[in-house]
Amino acid sequence: MDVASGSGKFLRNPDFYFNWKMDGRLGRFELTEGNEHISKDRAQELIQQISQFSEPIIPLMLQQKFSNFSGKIHEVAKNKLVVKLAQVSSDQDYKLLVDAQKWVIRKLRFKQSRSPENVEGEFSYIKIEGKPAISESRSRFEVDGREYSEVTSFSYKKVKGIWWVHRIDQILKQDGHVLQTYVVKLSDFKPVLSTP
């Protein structure tokens, strides 16, 4: 993961392993071997920064993500559904605009009483071998009264017959000014597919 501030100069960070098991949880990042010189505090800080990219690499199924939510579906137009979801034991609620013809989420709104607040997102898709894959997400949100926007784009690569996220580029802006840029490149894929 490489990071740049508004200056456009990238800070090269150490390499990580991304491990994921089909157990219903998100994958996790670990520093690669040869990075023993990095302090534990710095390693935790880097892992916390890169962990936001776990779900875009191998996302949770909607059933997993919203298993503790109850909701309603409303048809708002031909082939457009609004799905309203509220978490049973919390103040979180989602509103999803679903394209019922292509079965993809076009927009989402997310509300909670803590930061970030008033989160709104939109998704663009490409087709890979006839199936939709997110090519870009755009979101807007507020933290302590300040407005942020985030644009994330995704590139894919086929390895051993499976399309994987290969690169993630993210630009975070605060009040219209570039605050941070992330570039996450995934390489050296070693998928081990097995059945229990």
How confident is the model at residue 29, as a pLDDT? 79
The pLDDT of residue 193? 63
- Does residue 52 or residue 22 have the better pLDDT? 52
Residue reference for tokens 């013809």: 101
pLDDT at 130: 92
In 3D space, the residue among 22, 27, 32, 23 whose CA is nearest the CA of residue 1 turns out to be 32
Query: What would the two tokens of residue 113 be?
Result: 């009483």
Interval 104-152: pLDDT, tens: 999 999 887 788 888 999 999 999 999 999 999 999 999 988 999 999 9
Q: What is the mean pLDDT of the chain?
A: 84
- Tell me the pTM: 0.79
pLDDT of residue 92: 82
Q: How far is CA 104 from the centre of its chain?
A: 15
Q: What is the DSSP string of 63-86?
A: HHHTTTEEEEEEEEETTEEEEEEE
Mean pLDDT value of segment 27-38: 80
User: For the segment 162-189, what is each residue's pLDDT rounded down to a tens digit?
Assistant: 898 999 999 999 988 998 888 888 888 7
Which 8-state DSSP code applies to residue 189?
-
Confidence of residue 50 (pLDDT cuts 50, 70, 90): confident
- Alpha-carbon distance values, 139 to 1, 60, 127, 152 (Å): 21, 19, 22, 9
pLDDT of residue 2: 46
pLDDT at residue number 194: 59
DSSP percent split of the chain into helix, strand, coil, nearest 5:
10, 55, 35
Q: What percent of the chain has pLDDT over 90?
A: 34
pLDDT over 70 percentage in the chain: 90
